[in-house]
Structure 1
Amino acid sequence: MEINLPALDERVITQAIITRYTEVLLSLSEVEVAVVGAGPSGLSAAYYLAGSGIKTAVFERRASVGGGMWGGGMMFNQIVFQEPAREIFEEVGIRFTEFAPGYYVADAVETVTGLAYAVCRKGAKIINLVTVEDVVLQNDVVTGVVLNWTAVEMAGLHVDPLAVRCRCVVDATGHDARVVRLLTEKNGVTLKTPGGRVQGEKSLWAEIGEKQILENTAEVYPGLYVTGMAANAVAGGYRMGPIFGGMLLSGKKVASLISEKLRSSSSGSPN
């Protein structure tokens, strides 16, 4: 079969990319929620936030989204989740099978791509290759994030960043809890957690780690929330290993907490 392609003008291609990207970036100069990290908990949070009509942007420092889900366990690209997370997989439309009572298995690639697609369709914007290098802190409240290109950070260049204003920031950066560490290390503030600082995660204990990840999903400083492994890293919880149900449920919980807060503040009720 012969296919006749139309003539192409490289200038139009360049103009289309720059124009559309600039339009998107300008539209995100002020959002309601900035999610930092597009791993499982960050994507889940964005899905439910956007689904509630909340203007949400996700900033991912890598080229790809999905965090640790791509590799499954030790590069066997299957992921395991438990019964409470089943409804999320069903809602998004990701296929899975029951391996044993209470244990479900899903293809890692389908999970990542399906969840990312669902996030975009809900209306959240995902911006990759951008690093959050700081937060905006005003009157002891986190009111935005400071952005730069990941390539700038990697190259060690001195290039001033840009800032995005928001009402809430979600640290979904995983084991590093990068945003919370930036806040505490640069400003010496005390967190609303036991010890008032980042505790660092403990070794692997899947059963307890899964429970703790939901318990630790919370607002840790005015305007700053933690979800996923960042929640356990901040509170000193156990890691879970290659099981991802708690991560998705944590994202759903943080979305619920933020939705409630934004509704309360809009109605004039006390937080």
Structure 2
Amino acid sequence: MQTINIKQVDEIKISKYILKYTFEDWNNIIDSDVVIVGAGPSGMTAAYFLAKEGLKTVVFERRLSFGGGIGGGAMNFHKIVIESPADEVLKELNIKLQKAEEGIYIVDSAEFMAKLGASAIDAGAKIIHGINVDDVIFREDPLRVAGVAVEWTSTQMSGLHVDPLFISAKAVVDATGHDAEILSVASRKIPELGISIPGEKSAYSEIAEELVVNNAGKVAPGLYTTGMAVCEIKALPRMGPIFGAMVLSGKKVAEDIINDLHNS
């Protein structure tokens, strides 16, 4: 039987290397071009297109995994529906599609999550897990959102009072899904932004997909939204386990941010 020799690394080196390279990352991301809150389908799609364009992009996800609502599929079934033209984005990311009928495709949820996350990372985006964004930074003259305040999710779950770290950004994207957490904070704490959140309506998939895509984008200076958070702020119907709008709204918000930053 062949003996496998493994490089010996003592405990101090393990800790030292983790800390050294972690803080190198944090020192880089504290001044970002774009902060995306939520590593679901729309957030990761946006991250892919933003990073591909060369913008310094970081995604903060409160859980220790990514994918948002993808993994749950429809009532924990592992298949989801993607419709045209979102299939073109998935083909770009090398995600396999099964054709159900013309313009409608079935996707494996695990493959969708894995390849979408890997594509965003390969494009240059940074995804940090276990981080909760609980506030935004704002500036006056002109009034705008200028970054976020972050804490460890575990710290908040423990009920400890710990002050956050601040991350600056030219654009902040709420991709938190049904709760629209960042929009809610901004509407409550910065009323001057004029944000109101009426909440989403019940299911009407036939029209909701297109409405979500077309309404994704800027909410206030420096603040954008994508995915299900769009339903919250625009009072749009929900749509269930069909994810074309999640992908296309992520692409649209990325295109809007790229255009705004290039023209600023």
Q: Which residue of 1 aligns with 2:35?
A: 34
Match runs of 1:132-151 below 5 Å: 132-139=133-140, 140-151=143-154
| Structure 2, unaligned runs of 5 or more | none
Structure 2 distance, partners of 1:164, 1:48, is: 21
- Alignment partner of 1:166: what SS? strand
Q: Which residue of 2 aligns with 1:16?
A: 17
Q: Which residue of 1 aligns with 2:64?
A: 63
| TM-superposition CA deviations, 1:164-203 (whole Å, max 9, x none) | 1110100000000000000111222343xxxx40110011
| Structure 1, unaligned runs of 5 or more | 266-271
The alignment's C-alpha RMSD in Å is 1.0
Structure 1 distance, partners of 2:26, 2:192, is: 30
Q: Which residue of 2 aligns with 1:96?
A: 97
- Alignment partner of 1:260: what SS? helix
Q: In the alignment, residue 85 of structure 1 is paired with which amino acid?
A: A
Question: Which of 130, 152, 164 in structure 1 is aligned with 2:155?
Answer: 152
> Mean alpha-carbon deviation: is it higher for 173-182 or for 216-225?
216-225
- Alignment partner of 1:94: what SS? coil
Shift of 1:35: 0.6
Shift of 1:215: 2.0
Structure 2 distance, partners of 1:122, 1:7, is: 33
> Mean alpha-carbon deviation: is it higher for 3-12 or for 69-78?
3-12
Structure 1 distance, partners of 2:217, 2:87, is: 22
Structure 1 distance, partners of 2:260, 2:21, is: 33
- Alignment partner of 2:31: what SS? coil
Q: Structure 1's 15 and 187: CA in aligned 2 closer, same or farther, altered over 3 A? A: same
Match runs of 1:71-110 below 5 Å: 71-110=72-111
TM-score, normalised to structure 2's length? Answer: 0.96
Q: Say if 2:227 is the partner of 1:224.
A: no
Aligned 8 A contact 1:183 1:189 in 2: no
- Alignment partner of 1:189: what SS? helix
Structure 2 distance, partners of 1:127, 1:6, is: 28
How many residues align? The count is 261
Structure 1 distance, partners of 2:32, 2:62, is: 18
- Alignment partner of 2:163: what SS? coil
Structure 1 distance, partners of 2:228, 2:7, is: 49
- Alignment partner of 2:106: what SS? strand
Structure 2 distance, partners of 1:190, 1:33, is: 19
Structure 2 distance, partners of 1:4, 1:33, is: 44
> Mean alpha-carbon deviation: is it higher for 226-235 or for 6-15?
6-15
Amino-acid identity (%): 44
Q: Which residue of 1 aligns with 2:241?
A: 242
Aligned 8 A contact 1:39 1:65 in 2: yes
Aligned 8 A contact 1:190 1:197 in 2: no
Match runs of 1:184-199 below 5 Å: 184-191=187-194, 196-199=195-198
| TM-superposition CA deviations, 1:27-83 (whole Å, max 9, x none) | 001011111110000000000001111111111111111100011111001111101
Q: In the alignment, residue 201 of structure 2 is paired with which amino acid?
A: K
- Alignment partner of 1:204: what SS? coil
